[in-house]
Amino acid sequence: MTGIIEAEELTKYYGRLCALDAVDLKVARGEWLCVMGPSGSGKTTLLNLLSCLDRPSSGALVIDGTDVTRLDAAAVTRFRRETVGLIFQQFHLVPYLNALENVMLAQYFHSMADEEEARRALEDVGLGDRAHHLPSQLSGGEQQRVCIARALINEPRLILADEPTGNLDSANEEIVMGILRRLHAAGHTIVVVTHNTEVAESADRIIRLEHGRIVSSTWCQPSAVSYQLADR
């Protein structure tokens, strides 16, 4: 079975620095993969390549059946907005737009504008009553949930999150974790970078990066057996 992510010898140089060094990675559809590793080990670089925000220096990368290394800039943008939902540690909300408008901005990029749907997306993350607040009027946890609502507006098959709970207190971390668990249960594929062992324990598999290489890969959920078989 083909994975939703198939990377072979994926490599990224920044000048002479090798940030990602010939990484082979296959992620099954519906799998929840956690990426751990020390600062500077290449986690964000990997996520940026998987989200097509950046291009590999060499290697193969097929996502959801598409060879993304062959897409031109316009096709990459289209592919990303149709397939990938991105959640960042820094929330990247537009400061002068309220929560509802920030979510609707994502719809704009998907060529649709449906205020009711945007409002439902905010309700889904528990922010129905914060729709008209500006980011500066929201707590860190609330901003992260706006970011998640925005990332999910197009029902992306692949959800990529870079330290999504890195700036959150434990109560908000639990809320965000609950949302990720729900998405996983609904069949979305999730790749999450985290330092948090609790986040990691919810995943099907943990890979560890060091100096741009995968140094370990551990299956952690009994239910992940089917993904393991798919990985062969």
Chain contacts with ligand ADP (rule: CB under 6 A):
14, 17, 19, 37, 39-45
Among ligand ADP, Mg ion, none, what binds residue 205 when CB lies within 5 to 8 Å by partner kind?
none
Smallest distance, Å, CB 160 to ligand ADP?
A: 13
For the chain, the residue count is 232
Smallest distance, Å, CB 45 to ligand ADP?
A: 3
DSSP letter for each residue of 102-144:
HHHHHHHHTT---HHHHHHHHHHTT-GGGTT--GGGS-HHHHH
Helix axis angle, 140-151 relative to 115-124, nearest 10°? 130
Smallest distance, Å, CB 44 to Mg ion?
A: 3
Among Mg ion, ligand ADP, none, what binds residue 98 when CB lies within 5 to 8 Å by partner kind?
none
Element (H, E) at 224: none
Smallest distance, Å, CB 166 to ligand ADP?
A: 11
- Per-residue tokens: 139: 């707590």
Helix axis angle, 170-185 relative to 140-151, nearest 10°? 20
Of the pair 59, 135, the CB lying nearest ligand ADP is at 59
Smallest distance, Å, CB 120 to ligand ADP?
A: 33
Which is nearest to 29 in space by CA: 60, 53, 61, 65? 65
Of the pair 103, 214, the CB lying nearest Mg ion is at 214
Of the pair 45, 51, the CB lying nearest ligand ADP is at 45
Of the pair 19, 84, the CB lying nearest ligand ADP is at 19
Of the pair 43, 150, the CB lying nearest ligand ADP is at 43
Give 99: exposed, middle or buried? Use CB within 10 Å, 0-12, 13-18, 19+. buried
Q: Using CB under 5 A, list all residues that contact Mg ion.
A: 43-44
